[in-house]
A and B are shown apart, each in its own frame.
Chain A
Amino acid sequence: MSTTSALGGVVRRREDPALIQGKGLFVDDVNLHGMLHVAFVRSPFAHAKITSVDTAAAQAMRGVRAVYTADDVRHLGLLPAQAAAVGRPLLADGEVNHMGEAVAMIVAETRAQAQDAVDAVEADYDRLPVVIDLKEALANTNLVHEGVESNTLITWTAPFGMEEDGLNELRAKIDGYKAQDDVVVVSLEMVNQRLIPVAIEPRSVVAEWHAGYQQMTVHSSSQSIGAVASSVAIMLGIPYNQVRGIAPEVGGGFGAKLALYADELLIPWAARELDTPVKYTETRREAASNTIQGRGWLGTATITGTRDGQVLSYEIDAICDLGAYCQDLTVAIPFLGVFVGSGQYAFDTRMQLDCVVTNKQTTDAYRGAGRPEAIYYIERIMDAYSREIGMDPAEVKMKNFIPSESFPGATSPVGFAMDTGDYAMNLQAMLDSPEYGAMKLARDELRSDGKLVGLGMSTYVEACGFGPSALVDLGFSWSGYGQPSAFNGSGLVRVNPDGTANVIIGTGPSGQGHQTTWAQIVSNELGIEMDKIRVTHGDTKDAPVTIGTFGSRSAAVDGSATFEASRKVREKAARIAADLLEASEADIQFADGGAHVAGSPDKRVEWAAIAEVAYQPHRMPGGEEGGLEAHAIFSPGNATWPFGSVACLVTVDPDTGDVSIEDWVSMDDCGNVINPMIVDGQIHGGIAQGVGQALFEEAIYDDEGNLLTAGLIDYPMVTAVDVPSFNLSRTTTPTDVNPMGVKGIGEAGTIGAAQTLVNAVVDALAPLGVKHVDMPMRPRRVWQAIQDAKASA
């Protein structure tokens, strides 16, 4: 497929004036006449039988309109999910499986009344043994779900699709490598800890039932409003076109608002039961224990390689924490780790990811989703191996990269077709950059001053822009939500009679700037000025069916659909313009708000004039259909595979273990770039979230399954003051998967970041004998690593 040149212009985000003035419309801003409010009674225990729930006192309280328990909603079934194995009841049914699980739902006239009634519900529990530790979960010491005979719900292996026999052969082959006497085997057990995805806007749902029309309107702060609307339709037993789903502004999602939640069904259900609008907005504490969490791997990574840097094999054996129930893509997230496998390298790779249930909140997609975990392990162990053999990590990488000649069309060692890549070129660009040079000099200078200073490096590749369309055939599909769509994108472009354009897309932003980027795509194709293009998203009433915003897919997939829809409109407009200008269709070009004949800029016609004809079909040339709009579905043949090289410089305070990031360089390659400023912004935020994981963030559960970090006071979230100013540069390797040549960039920053920082800290502490520091590298842990190294020296 041919690729266009980069669109490439910095255009200021059109959505920002409303957002930064506090004038954006979010779900919690929706206030309907007579609207009722919801609060949930939540389990204080991680695992218990519910012996009784007495709601009488709560029912009798001022303003309380209804109190519901499992008995009221059991008939609605379990929460639908993709690739589910153990589904979640809408309200806990006989048993609670994680702290914060909803046991009863209160609907009252005010939010405060609903909250007061929560305290009046008497629930009794018989506590059960809890499963918190991942190794114990794997050993089935205790079971999370009675009747599910193993806590391990699924084991993902790689190479993908290889049967047990093949895997055994591979094991034997790797054992053969290990038995050679000229090789080193480097192995580390490392934690990729659970995180709480913190969006500025907590999740919120408002539902309104129009009894007269048998219609439901549901507003939800969702990354996939189509899935919400279709599941509500199924649950209520009404057709899809009787449900209108609206996701207005979404104040950050990071994957956590992709999953469908029980409250997204319960609120519409209650609105119909009570025939009154109902609202629920999570509190910050609920956002920590009721919204999905991310990551949660405990794994051992092993590299076997020669002393001169030739890696023979990579192995990872990890336990992945699913939490209590499988929600949306829960079991699929570790699979995305298999998708990227051993990253950019060409050596034999064996992976085994045992996915276990535990008595903790469900895990699901969090920025990067499976890929930061996988890249973390390979990049940490590559660094440890380089250190072990005393070679520059960049040199080791260069020796082991999948060669550029393999692209396009390389197959990764775990068996997936990749699009385009040139890893050596990208790494060399970073190594040659003045910023990287300065960083190396600074490291040497600080080191000679006696400072504990370290330079860390990581490269990454990710699979994103999901696609391929046929991913559904692997069992990941929205059909459980009543939306049998594949991993496609959708876009609709309409030029109005006055020459303005409407662009209606199925995917919506949660901060990514769709309003701006999509207008750029269409403006570039049609030559209509940006300010005459209106981009609409997030309302299933108008939107073409798509599956939502996640996995860095919006631009690559839905953007491509919009691009193709624009092309269709342009082709038709060219025919009309050719007729009006008495020129050949092939000579028509679009720019500056109209069409002109190539080489004769004054032979031109404005878009309004073209539209005028289009909307008066009797004036159209040769049997042309009326109207000036087109819809396109883009069905990608593959994911896109962006990549990059990252380095950072840190100093460590030897007395306290405090890590300071002194400098950061990132050389990313996401193919063609639509808006460089927006791409930079995505990388900034992405790196920050990776830094947060590396330095402070962790969802900490105690042995009883209490979430100790349920508020921001105990969950130190990364902010702008914690990160340096980033030096960002790019190489450009367009993808061949879509017509714009763009790859996803929403998650790349995160995927490249955490291990870069750990590698840097280990570089700083290596002279003391430290080989690894687990994340989060809070000062006490770094200090402890120094003490332990000193003690064993």
Chain B
Amino acid sequence: MFPREFEYVAPSSLDEALGTLASNPGAKVMSGGMSLIPMMKLRLFSPELVVDIARIGGLDGIEDRGDHIAIGALVRHETTAASPLVQQHAAALASAAAWTGDRQVRARGTTCGALAHADIAADQPAAALALGATMVAASSGGTRDIAAADFFVDTLTSALEPNEILTEVRIPKSSGSAYDKLGRRGGHTDYAVAGAAAAVTMSDGTVSSAGVALTGVGTKPTIAAGSVEAIVGTDGSAEAIAGAVARATEGVTVLEDLYGSAEYKAHLAGVYVGRALEQAIAATG
């Protein structure tokens, strides 16, 4: 469990970091290192150069930007989880961050890192998808916005280019969102066997818009389009939720792993879509 030889730099400005990435195609960004370092130690992944962004100033804030909140690249899981802004306007993300890993991991790992890492069983990507987040990707050529729905491409693959840094994630404010999962050690402990996030907007007793997303069940965190379609336009009642539950894995490839058969995971997807929707709808009231 020793990485192959690599170079390490820790630039102090974003421009410097982006410049380094631009001129070193074999470079890899590191923020908290909670996923990158284990992969390097297992030699599953051997970058030539690690660009540690932890010393770049100005990336560690959570800001209220009116209709959305912005979480900077260096905001740790524990900070996201404890932030009153996040708890109030993006409760699903606060829970997802609070249930990510253990105390040590939450103290070092970053919300943006968890998104960029795009693990199939990670918590925060599901919340970002349900909440309709936007990723801000910077490179030496400028910045671009990537919608969460386009961001999670495949297993451990995001839409980021190797020369890009995810500088912040913007989350539209939602008064009704929730995340729930079954952890690998039961309850909320450890990666998700399966989990779901939901965000709903109610107007005049009707679900006017919704986001529902799954994690742990397939090759990537993914939107549960069937559930979204089923819940929007309803009154958010128990029956309406049951309709969304029934369509939880519509169009989603559900895969077996050490923690469950495909049948079980599909079932859990429904259970957690139901629980997340129920809580999200209740929160709007």
Contact = CB atoms under 8 A, between A and B. Distances in A.
A, B bound: yes
Nearest to A715: B258
A115 B2 contact: yes
Interface in B244-285: 258-261, 264, 267-268, 271
Given A708-B258, A779-B193, A285 B1 contact: yes
B184 interface: yes
Interface string B14-47: 0000000000000000000000001000110000
Given A659-B186, A783-B264, A112 B258 contact: no
A119 B43 CA distance: 10
Interface string A109-128: 00110011001000000000
A656 B1 CA distance: 35
Given A780-B193, A780-B261, A784-B264, A722 B186 contact: yes
Contacts of A658: 182, 186-187
A726 interface: no
A783 B259 CA distance: 12
B143 interface: no
Interface in B168-189: 182, 184-187, 189
A659 B268 CA distance: 15
Given A115-B2, A780-B261, A655 B186 contact: no
Given A655-B271, A779-B193, A695 B185 contact: yes
Contacts of A215: none
**What size tier do the contact residues of chain A reach?**
20 to 34
Contact of A709 (B5, B258, B261): B258
Nearest to B193: A779
A711 B42 contact: yes
B2 A779 contact: no
B6 to A, nearest CB: 11
A111 B2 CA distance: 8
Given A112-B5, A784-B264, A721 B189 contact: yes
B134 to A, nearest CB: 30
B271 A779 contact: no
A700 interface: yes
A284 interface: yes
Interface in B50-84: none
Contacts of A708: 258
Contacts of B144: none
Interface residues of B, number: 26
Given A779-B193, A780-B193, A780-B260, A116 B4 contact: yes
> SS class of chain B's interface: helix, strand, loop or mixed?
loop
A779 B3 CA distance: 35
Contacts of B154: none
Given A709-B258, A780-B260, A716 B184 contact: yes
B258 A656 contact: no
A656 B185 contact: no
A780 B216 CA distance: 14
A754 B215 CA distance: 31
Nearest to A659: B186
A65 interface: no
A646 B42 CA distance: 41
Contacts of B229: none
Contact of A700 (B43, B258, B260, B268): B258
B268 A656 contact: yes
A778 B182 CA distance: 11
A5 interface: no
Interface in B184-241: 184-187, 189-191, 193
A111 B259 CA distance: 34
Interface string A271-287: 00000000000011100
Contact of B187 (A111, A112, A660): A660
Nearest to B4: A116
Nearest to B3: A112
Nearest to B270: A655
A28 to B, nearest CB: 13
A293 B190 CA distance: 24
Given A708-B258, A714-B258, A780-B193, A660 B186 contact: yes
Contact of A778 (B38, B191, B259): B259
Contacts of A784: 261, 264
Nearest to A284: B1
A722 B189 contact: yes
Contacts of A112: 2-3, 5
Interface string A206-247: 000000000000000000000000000000000000000000
Interface in A484-540: none
Q: In the complex, which of the residues A709, A719, A783 has the most CB atoms of chain B within 10 Å of its own CB atom?
A: A783
A696 B193 CA distance: 13
Interface in A273-331: 283-285
B100 to A, nearest CB: 14
Interface in A768-792: 778-780, 783-784
Contacts of B2: 111-112, 115, 283
A119 B267 CA distance: 43
Interface string A71-114: 00000000000000000000000000000000000000001100
Contacts of B190: 716
Contact of B185 (A115, A116, A700, A722): A722
A722 B3 CA distance: 32
Contact of A779 (B1, B5, B182, B258): B182
A284 B259 CA distance: 21
Closest 4 CB pairs of A and B: A283-B1, A780-B260, A115-B2, A780-B264
12 contacts: A115-B2, A283-B2, A285-B1, A656-B268, A658-B182, A658-B186, A696-B184, A700-B258, A778-B259, A779-B186, A780-B193, A783-B264
Given A709-B258, A780-B264, 12 more contacts: A115-B2, A119-B43, A285-B1, A656-B182, A656-B268, A660-B186, A716-B184, A779-B186, A779-B193, A779-B260, A780-B259, A780-B261
